[in-house]
Each structure stands twice: as structure tokens, then as C-alpha cells.
Amino acid sequence: MSVTGWRTLTCRACGAAVEGLAVESANPARHPPFRQKLLARTLLRMACPSCGAPHEHYDRFVWADLPSGLCACVIHDSERDDWADLEQEARDALSLPLREEGPNVVRTWGASMAIRLVFGLEELREKVVCCTSRIDDRLVEAVKLDLPHGASLDDAIVGEALIFRRADARTMCVPWAQYEQVGRRCEALAAELVGLFDPRSAWVSVARSRRPPRA
């Protein structure tokens, strides 16, 4: 199920109180508008009524898209510096119930779920695009190493191209062959980019690709 409610949060630009509908948990399988708004980049986004700055109306919430195989803890981008502690919290909150507790059938099913920590709605959007397209988000992050800083996955045309959105909002296409080439180098990349390929990783991002998870 999805849990929503009206909350008053602080504008991170001017400090004003902003009232709006916030999400504690989102189940896009049962409530498709969540996914539609996320992909359209309108989910939980508004302008601060006091200063007009872009405002994302949430602190943190859980995105549980079980049919697509994604369970993510979504935290505001401003908390990124605390990624190591937050990654452990996400693993404890999401991974333990799905993968290490309950009957064997639950554990087997949970092993197929992607447990992710994401910072901001754009990172969440990328993970949703990956899961719905059935592509490996670790390989997508590795592809970004050769792209301009700040590029994010905008769309995937499986078998043809990955479409990335640059920091200036322009788009660029990466041939599918480049994604496949990265996939063939998984073993070598796993040693170099531990943060992406370690099975303990929940924050799977190029931003922490060379930082191994904390034990």
C-alpha cells in the first residue's frame, strides 16, 4: 500500500514553511500515477510559495515496486555526505526483512529484489527506468564514467541506445554496444569499482563507485 499525508516542511532555499502532500511509502504497482509523475519529473516537486525556488516536498520515503523488482529508500540529496551511515540504515530497513528473515520462499523472492538507497528524485527516476527496462543499473553507472559529469539516465531503448540527460538538460545517446561492452568487463570492473559491484552496496552510483561499502 501507499502512505501519503499533508506535511509542513522547510524550504531548503529560504527556510520558509511549505505545506504540501508528502509520501511516506509509494507502491507504484497499485498506484500508477506515482510512476507516471516520477517519470514526468513532477512527483513531489513544487515552487516554494515564499521565494519561488524549486522545492521537493519530502524528507525520506520508501519506493516499493515489487513487480519490477525494486525497493528503494529515497533520501533528499542534501544528506548525501552521510551516505555510509544511511546505506547501512537502508540495508537494515529493507534488506533484512526481504532477504534474511521469514520463510525460505520469502528469502528466495527477496534475493531477486534490487535494494537501493537513492539521493533525490532524479536518482530514483534512474533506478525506475533501469528496472522497468530490465537493465543493470550497475552497468549504467559504469557507462557514466565516460560521460560528462552530472549525466543521468533519461530513457532506455533496449537493444538500441541509452539516452542520458546532461546537467544542462540536453540529451545525448549512447549506443547499446557501449552498455554491452561494459557488461563484458564486469569481472575487471568489480575489482576497480567496488562500490558499484559489491553485493552489500545499496547506494549504487557513479558518485561512490570507487568507495567500498563500510563493513
The pLDDT, as a whole number, for residue 96 is 59
Largest CA distance in the chain: 52
Task: State whether residue 114 is helix, strand or coil.
Answer: strand
The span from the CA of 108 to the CA of 152, in Å, is: 31
Task: Provide the 10 A C-beta neighbour count for residue 209.
Answer: 20
Query: pLDDT (tens digit, 0 to 9) for every residue of the chain, 215 residues total?
Result: 689 999 999 999 999 999 999 999 999 999 999 999 999 999 999 999 999 999 999 989 999 998 888 999 999 999 999 999 999 999 888 875 555 555 554 455 456 688 999 999 999 999 999 999 999 999 999 999 999 999 999 999 999 999 999 999 999 999 999 999 999 998 899 888 988 998 889 999 999 887 777 65
pLDDT of residue 162: 98
The pLDDT value given to residue 212 = 72
Query: What does the pLDDT read at residue 100?
Result: 57
Could you give the CA distance from residue 118 to residue 98 in angstroms, rounded to a whole number? 18
CA–CA–CA angle 42, 140, 130 (5° rounding)? 50
Residue ranges of domains in the chain = 1-133, 135-209
The H-or-E segment that residue 35 falls in is: helix 33-39
- Sign (positive or negative) of CA dihedral 142, 144, 149, 152: negative
Please give the helix or strand (H or E) that residue 105 lies within, else none: helix 104-111
Enter the pTM of the model. Answer: 0.90
Q: What is the dihedral of CA 156, 161, 162, 167, to 10 degrees?
A: -120
Q: What is the pLDDT of residue 92?
A: 86
Specify the pLDDT at position 2. 82
Burial (CB < 10 A; 0-12, 13-18, 19+), residue 202, is buried
* All residues at 6 or more sequence positions from 34 whose CB lies less than 8 Å from its CB, including other chains: 2, 23, 26, 27, 28, 43, 63
